[in-house]
Amino acid sequence: MPMDDDRIMEAVKHTEILRLPKQSLATFGTTNVYYYLLTEPSYTELVGKVDEVVIREGRVIAERPKVVTPYYLTNMEGFSPDARRYLDMLVRMHGTSVPGVLYSYRNEPKELNIVSDTMESVVDRLNADIERRGDPLACIIKGEDELWDVSLMKFIFELTRGSLYENLWQMSARGLLEIDTHGIPRDARLRIDQLFARAERGDCEPRVLKEELDRWNVFEEYQDRFFRIFKKK
């Protein structure tokens, strides 16, 4: 059963990022963050407080951030009608070609363990283990058991916000935020070229390339090059 907004905001409020990764999200590559998400067992509400901690481990994989525009977003699937209305408002307010950065994440849960110990002792032990391994991309999050994935999303938001300035600065320094006369960012042009190269090698399905061209409404511009992929096979 879906939670109401107040319950979700309560879980966000009670989430603590006890250890952030020492590195920001990579601007030009994939970032693989290992997380430990700690919660008190949900059954403590029934039996009272116990010295037990639920430890969820997993990876949050952040794909290379890409430069997009409001027009591009309106051609992506998966948005609710309310979100699409907001995107239409952005287009009306700022035009179709205002550049922004889109971050894509994938969560890969690994393990779940319940240990008999205090929260403080578990945190100390995990911090010591991370320091011993010298892992700059490990983090520790304290959240709520019932809404642990909401706590994970808060961490992802904080990670993104903390990386945005550096990512934008590096992209701007390479001219990737520049918009051409067709309203396409330079970063998108380079990404399309990379997809063509992958499709020609057989490392990417032509369908993926076609979807990207359609999102930018540039298939007609690239169609001769696109159909040459099939002539080479």
What are the residue boundaries of the structural domains of the chain, listed by start? Answer: 5-65+103-173, 186-232
Kindly provide the residue ranges of all beta strands, DSSP E only, lying in 16-166, ordered along the sequence. 16-19, 31-39, 52-62, 66-68, 100-102, 105-116, 138-142
What is the Cα–Cα distance from 224 to 134, expressed in whole angstroms? 50
Provide the pLDDT for residue 2.
Answer: 57
What is the Cα–Cα distance from 186 to 44, expressed in whole angstroms? 53
Provide the pLDDT for residue 233.
Answer: 58
Say which residues have a Cβ less than 8 Å from residue 105's Cβ, sequence separation at least 6.
60, 61, 62, 63, 156
CA distances (Å), origin 221, targets 45, 95, 161, 226: 61, 22, 35, 10
Q: Dump pLDDT digits (tens) for 195-211.
A: 999 999 999 999 999 99
Q: Tokens 């990386």, residue?
A: 163
Provide the pLDDT for residue 83.
Answer: 62
Q: Tokens 């994938």, residue?
A: 106
Closest CA relative to residue 207, chosen from 226, 233, 188? 226
CB 159 within 8 A of CB 107: no
Closest CA relative to residue 163, chosen from 43, 50, 22? 22
Q: What are phi and psi of 113, to 5 degrees?
A: -135, 145
Which run of H or E residues covers position 122? Answer: helix 119-133
Provide the pLDDT for residue 163.
Answer: 93
The CB-based long-range contact list for 195-199 (8 Å cut-off, 24+ gap) reads 196/222, 196/225, 196/226, 196/229, 199/229
Q: Tokens 């399309």, residue?
A: 192
Low-confidence ranges of the chain (pLDDT < 50): 1
What is the Cα–Cα distance from 171 to 166, expressed in whole angstroms? 9
